[in-house]
Structure 1
């Protein structure tokens, strides 16, 4: 199996405030694997973006494109991003094995 030695904090987006910005819920911490690499991707809306990391979290987790993803790298730098793409990786029977979040 894939080792999950890092952690990521996810804050679910809530209702919009008077300026149209979402409020965020309580942080939930998940063990994960983070592969940092810069690459160009195409988002769900068809726009191109630059991704800085791919996060692999075991099982199916509730994460949306408006949520906040926070993690620290090996150099101690904190990162706070919103997902660019979200994918569910399944086994041959259709059971969800991992949630892949590209930020």
Structure 2
């Protein structure tokens, strides 16, 4: 199994403010594995983007492209990013094993 020694906080997007930006709810914390590396990925709209990290969370996690993802690395640098792509990794029977979130 993959060790989940890091944590990530997911803030669900809420109502839009007067400038059209979402307000975010209280964070929900999940154990995860974060691999920080720059990669070119294809977004859901077909455009290319550069990601800064791939986050692997055990199980099926409710996360959407408008949510805010927050974490700190080993040198206490804090990140707050939005997802570029979200994928569910399943076993052969179809059971969700991991939620993979790529952020930019």
TM-score, normalised relative to structure 2? 0.97
* Equivalent residue, structure 1, for 2:97: 97
1:79 aligns with 2:91: no
Please list every run of 5 or more consecutive structure 1 residues that lacks an aligned counterpart in the other structure.
none
Instruction: State the 1:52 CA deviation.
Output: 0.6
Secondary structure, aligned partner of 2:75:
coil
How far apart, in 2, do the equivalents of 1:61 and 1:5 lie?
Answer: 17
* Equivalent residue, structure 2, for 1:17: 17
* Equivalent residue, structure 2, for 1:62: 62
Instruction: State the 1:47 CA deviation.
Output: 1.3
Instruction: State the 1:46 CA deviation.
Output: 1.1
* Equivalent residue, structure 2, for 1:51: 51
Give the paired residue count. 103
* Equivalent residue, structure 1, for 2:31: 31
Instruction: State the 1:84 CA deviation.
Output: 0.3
TM-score, normalised relative to structure 1? 0.98
How far apart, in 2, do the equivalents of 1:2 and 1:41 lie?
Answer: 23
User: Which runs of structure 1 show a deviation greater than 2 angstroms over 4 or more consecutive aligned residues?
Assistant: none
Please list every run of 5 or more consecutive structure 2 residues that lacks an aligned counterpart in the other structure.
none
The RMSD of aligned alpha carbons is 0.6
